[in-house]
């Protein structure tokens, strides 16, 4: 292999493929990045067997070839050299990289030993604006379950059962709260043939890590994101990057049944006011079972409070538009705060039934996102 | 106690006094901040028995008093409330803090149980421009010894034996490298009476933590820093803050003897070129005994390289102004990098004797700072 490319492109590529974390220490080659010339230029690939990232950069290819070298060492070298042309040349298992008067020889491992990427020939199922998808992922990520006791909720559900009406839904839950985001697609961005080819499949569960990786990499430079779904894999195509992830098997909970449709009471509040009040109550959270008490009066007054014997107590009053009956509900501090951080808009709407039924958090300006939160039973 | 002050002032004060780390877990009150009204306003104080920080803020004092409350809880509350007036009121051991409609009650501990700050009546020894002192501290901090086997080099030496000529010197060393910074003082900022009162004392050793704390807090708002030296204590007065630290006892090494005065060879290099080359050599440092080889030719060429059997090798060429004989010296990567990061200027000067004697790193534009580094013996 002998190619010349720019430090800038190489650095960008490594900042993306270099983030795939390898937990598999029995296969040291997974700490390496694969360099491979193909018709799209120089491909850099990285995988941890569950998640693979590919990125293409342009360059002058004088000699085709492929090799793998330690990702971290390569990335650190590229980050240390000035902007300019970088020449990459292999001689047997040594990779010689040169930029101006800086020269490094890195011992590589034969690309034949690198795990093969799954071949997915399917066409895209839908295309979506990158920024819309990124926003959605950022909103639903905090509610994904951290516990591996129920694998199916350690991922994000992509529900495309309503795709023929131009809607897809992202859902996450850890059984204490649930986040649901609806994205509207343009008709021309939906591929009916791919949908038919999927048979009965109308939803998939995508691992949290893949979604995190995707949300970090989906920058504004790629306007549209293409999503391809195969049997056990999902592929994200955007800009010069391709992310491939395995899917999580299992049955996702029937989330629509969890979302209440009617409420006894409603409070509409300024997001800053309620966020400050909850944050202050959270100062005692570790010493108070993480409880935050939410009290709604009939007079348009909200009181947020918490108490910890050893430390003291706190109490904040918020002016709100209230309707329905007066009540007192106790929430988990972290779950409430996550919800407040996820909604977009200045006016938060909290719909409450009673102290034992799920409440809903949303904003008056955003119809696409709702956050369901279970109160703590007293 | 009953006082009213602004959230902004309180937040600033807590960001400074809140940073004193308490390692003493047998005295829980040290996790508290002392609030005390005096003629300068409301004093906030924090101490870990070795290092104490005081900060005064103005406010409306309706009732004098003193109390201590958990620093972290108080600081987090103040950071969570909007800018505005904050009312602090004590009722027995409870402290009631109110800002707009946010209210918190924190359980305090009687101020009488708080350790007394040492009383230092001495006048200042010298005044120095805050920015000059901060720059000096930042330059010498990296070379302070981390090992507690020789306590006297775990601090920074403040040598004022030449203060009558308007010079003070800050020195740090861990016996592998040494940093020396000279600061010029204006005559009117030196207090001869304080000097006489000190008897034979012409230098003190200041703990690293105190200097770190000081360098963080010495912001541009305080133009001058006043330094007071007492028997076992040093006091830093600046703006609205006072830092008091104990001094380290012991005899500091005779640092002037370590600094060579003559050299066999000299290389003058662009700081970016040599820093990049050393950084690249450092990529192999963990696998190469941290060695970086520095080779100087007669032709104005420098070669920086390192090698690690398992990983590969690297080699960077730098154009330099060289004089003296050709040579090859091996340095520790980290020590060399620290030196390059500490010098100020665009043109680095490296004065070398041979592979077994200390070299000196400095810049051509800054006469006040030199960095002595021992080569690794081969």
Q: What is the 3-state secondary structure (H, E, C) of A261-279?
A: CCCCEEEEEEHHHHHHHHH
CB-side exposure of A274: number of CA atoms within 13 Å?
Answer: 31
A105·B279 Cβ contact <8 A: no
Q: CA–CA separation, B25 vs B338, rounded Å?
A: 34
Report yes or no: A117 and A47 within 8 Å, Cβ to Cβ: yes
Q: CA–CA separation, A275 vs A252, rounded Å?
A: 31
Task: Report, as an integer, the average pLDDT of A34-38.
Answer: 97
B103·A277 Cβ contact <8 A: no
| H and E: helices and strands count for chain A | 8, 26
Note the pLDDT of residue B377. 79
- The three-state secondary structure class of A72 is helix
Report yes or no: A150 and A230 within 8 Å, Cβ to Cβ: no
Note the pLDDT of residue A309. 84
- A73, A101, A312 member nearest B107 (Cβ): A312
Percent of chain A with pLDDT over 70: 99
Q: Which residues of B touch A (CB under 8 A)?
A: 70, 73, 76-77, 80-82, 94-95, 101-107, 272, 276-277, 279-280, 283, 310-318
| Tokens matching residue A368 | 């696409």
The helix (H) or strand (E) run that includes residue B273 is helix B271-282
B102·A276 Cβ contact <8 A: yes
Q: How many CB atoms lie within 10 A of CB B324?
A: 15
- B94, B103, B316 member nearest A316 (Cβ): B103
Taking only the tens place, the pLDDT of each residue in A93-103 is 999 999 999 99
Lookup result for tokens 């107590």: A313
- The three-state secondary structure class of A59 is coil
Which residues in chain A are closer than 8 Å to B318, comparing Cβ atoms? 101
Report yes or no: A229 and A122 within 8 Å, Cβ to Cβ: yes
Q: CA–CA separation, B366 vs A197, rounded Å?
A: 72
Report yes or no: B84 and B8 within 8 Å, Cβ to Cβ: no
Note the pLDDT of residue B25. 77
- A95, A107, A314 member nearest B310 (Cβ): A107
Closest approach of chain B CAs to the CA of A335, in angstroms? 18
Which residues in chain B are closer than 8 Å to A310, comparing Cβ atoms? 107
B317·A94 Cβ contact <8 A: no
Q: CA–CA separation, A32 vs A97, rounded Å?
A: 16
Which residues in chain B are closer than 8 Å to A107, comparing Cβ atoms? 310-312
- A82, A276, A310 member nearest B276 (Cβ): A82
- Best A83, A98, A280, A308 residue to mutate vs chain B (most B CBs within 10 Å): A280
Q: CA–CA separation, A239 vs A373, rounded Å?
A: 37
Q: CA–CA separation, A61 vs A343, rounded Å?
A: 48
Q: Maximum Cα–Cα distance for chain B, whole Å?
A: 80
Which residues in chain B are closer than 8 Å to A70, comparing Cβ atoms? 311
Beta-bridge partners for B248: B205
Task: Report, as an integer, the average pLDDT of A238-266.
Answer: 95
Note the pLDDT of residue A220. 67
Residue A22 has pLDDT above 90, yes or no: no
Task: Report, as an integer, the average pLDDT of A294-323.
Answer: 93
| Tokens matching residue A148 | 């591996």
Lowest-pLDDT range of A152-166, A287-301, B246-260: A287-301
CB-side exposure of B41: number of CA atoms within 13 Å?
Answer: 17
Which residues in chain A are closer than 8 Å to B317, comparing Cβ atoms? 101
- Best B69, B80, B103 residue to mutate vs chain A (most A CBs within 10 Å): B80
Q: CA–CA separation, A351 vs A360, rounded Å?
A: 5
Beta-bridge partners for A269: A348
Among residues A59, A32, A50, the alpha carbon closest in space to that of A240 is found at A59
Note the pLDDT of residue A16. 94
A102·B314 Cβ contact <8 A: yes
B313·A105 Cβ contact <8 A: yes
Which residues in chain B are closer than 8 Å to A276, comparing Cβ atoms? 80-82, 102
DSSP 8-state code for residue A117:
P
- A73, A284, A314 member nearest B103 (Cβ): A314
User: Nearest chain A Cα to B304, which residue?
Assistant: A102
CA A127 to chain CA mean position, Å: 17
Report yes or no: A80 and A18 within 8 Å, Cβ to Cβ: no
Note the pLDDT of residue B220. 67
SS (H, E, C) A293-328: EEEECCCCEEEEEEEECCCEEEEEEEECEEEECCEE
Q: What is the pLDDT tens value at each position of chain B, 378 positions in all?
A: 999 999 999 999 999 999 887 777 789 999 999 999 999 999 999 999 999 999 999 999 999 999 999 999 999 999 999 999 999 999 999 999 999 999 999 999 999 999 988 889 999 999 999 999 999 999 999 999 999 999 999 999 999 999 999 999 999 999 999 999 999 999 999 999 999 999 999 999 999 999 999 999 997 668 999 999 998 999 999 999 999 999 999 999 999 999 999 999 999 999 999 999 999 999 988 788 899 999 999 888 999 999 998 899 999 999 999 999 999 999 999 999 999 999 999 999 999 999 899 999 999 999 999 999 999 976
Report yes or no: A202 and A162 within 8 Å, Cβ to Cβ: no
| Tokens matching residue A372 | 């369901």
Q: CA–CA separation, A329 vs A327, rounded Å?
A: 7
User: Nearest chain A Cα to B69, which residue?
Assistant: A311
Lookup result for tokens 């016996």: B175
Among residues A360, A366, A296, A299, the alpha carbon closest in space to that of A329 is found at A296
Note the pLDDT of residue A1. 96
Which residues in chain A are closer than 8 Å to B272, comparing Cβ atoms? 82
Which residues in chain A are closer than 8 Å to B279, comparing Cβ atoms? 80
- Pairing verdict, β A233-238 and A301-308: unpaired
CB-side exposure of A191: number of CA atoms within 13 Å?
Answer: 15
Among residues B300, B305, B311, the alpha carbon closest in space to that of B328 is found at B305
Among residues A255, A149, A163, A249, the alpha carbon closest in space to that of A205 is found at A249
Sheet holding B233-238, edge to edge: B66-70, B32-38, B41-47, B51-57, B241-246, B233-238, B224-229, B126-129
What's the ipTM? Answer: 0.87
Q: CA–CA separation, B358 vs B177, rounded Å?
A: 8
Helix boundaries (H) for chain A: 7-17, 71-80, 130-140, 192-197, 208-217, 255-258, 271-282, 333-342
| Tokens matching residue B327 | 């040579």
Closest approach of chain A CAs to the CA of B70, in angstroms? 9
- B95, B272, B312 member nearest A104 (Cβ): B312
DSSP 8-state code for residue B358:
-
Q: CA–CA separation, A346 vs A274, rounded Å?
A: 11
* Report field, pTM of the whole predicted structure over 0.95: no
Q: CA–CA separation, B273 vs B284, rounded Å?
A: 18
Report yes or no: A221 and A240 within 8 Å, Cβ to Cβ: no
Note the pLDDT of residue B3. 97
Closest approach of chain B CAs to the CA of A209, in angstroms? 28
Taking only the tens place, the pLDDT of each residue in A110-129 is 999 999 888 899 999 999 99
B276·A102 Cβ contact <8 A: yes
- The three-state secondary structure class of A247 is coil
Closest approach of chain B CAs to the CA of A153, in angstroms? 33
């Amino acid at each position: 292999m002998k190619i010349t490319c720019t430090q800038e492109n190489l650095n960008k590529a490594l900042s993306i493929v270099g983030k795939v974390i390898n937990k598999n220490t029995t296969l040291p080659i997974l700490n390496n990045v694969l360099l491979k010339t193909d018709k799209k230029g120089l491909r850099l690939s990285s995988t941890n067997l569950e998640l693979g990232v590919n990125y293409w950069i342009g360059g002058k290819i004088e000699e085709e070839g492929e090799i793998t070298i330690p990702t971290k060492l390569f990335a650190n070298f590229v980050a240390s050299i000035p902007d300019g042309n970088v020449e990459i040349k292999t001689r047997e298992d040594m990779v010689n990289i040169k930029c101006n008067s800086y020269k490094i020889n890195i011992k590589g491992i034969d690309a034949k030993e690198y795990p093969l990427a799954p071949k997915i020939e399917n066409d895209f199922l839908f295309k979506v604006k990158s920024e819309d998808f990124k926003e959605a992922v950022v909103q639903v990520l905090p509610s994904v379950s951290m516990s591996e006791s129920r694998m199916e909720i350690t991922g994000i559900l992509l529900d495309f059962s309503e795709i023929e009406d131009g809607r897809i839904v992202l859902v996450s839950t850890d059984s204490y709260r649930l986040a649901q985001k609806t994205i509207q697609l343009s008709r021309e961005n939906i591929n009916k043939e791919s949908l038919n080819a999927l048979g009965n499949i109308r939803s998939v569960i995508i691992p949290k890590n893949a979604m995190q990786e995707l949300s970090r990499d989906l920058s504004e430079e790629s306007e549209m994101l293409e999503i391809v779904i195969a049997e056990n894999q999902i592929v994200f195509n955007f800009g010069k990057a391709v992310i491939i992830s395995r899917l999580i098997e299992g049955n996702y909970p029937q989330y629509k049944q969890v979302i209440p449709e009617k409420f006894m009471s409603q409070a509409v509040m300024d997001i800053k006011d309620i966020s400050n009040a909850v944050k202050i109550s959270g100062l005692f959270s570790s010493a108070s079972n993480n409880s935050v008490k939410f009290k709604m009066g009939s007079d348009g007054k909200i009181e947020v409070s918490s108490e910890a014997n050893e430390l003291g107590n706190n109490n904040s009053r918020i002016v709100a538009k209230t309707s329905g009956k007066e009540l007192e509900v106790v929430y988990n501090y972290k779950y409430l705060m996550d919800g407040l951080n996820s909604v977009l808009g200045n006016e938060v709407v909290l719909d409450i039934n009673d102290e034992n039924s799920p409440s809903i958090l949303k904003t008056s300006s955003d119809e696409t996102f709702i956050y369901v939160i279970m109160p703590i039973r007293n």
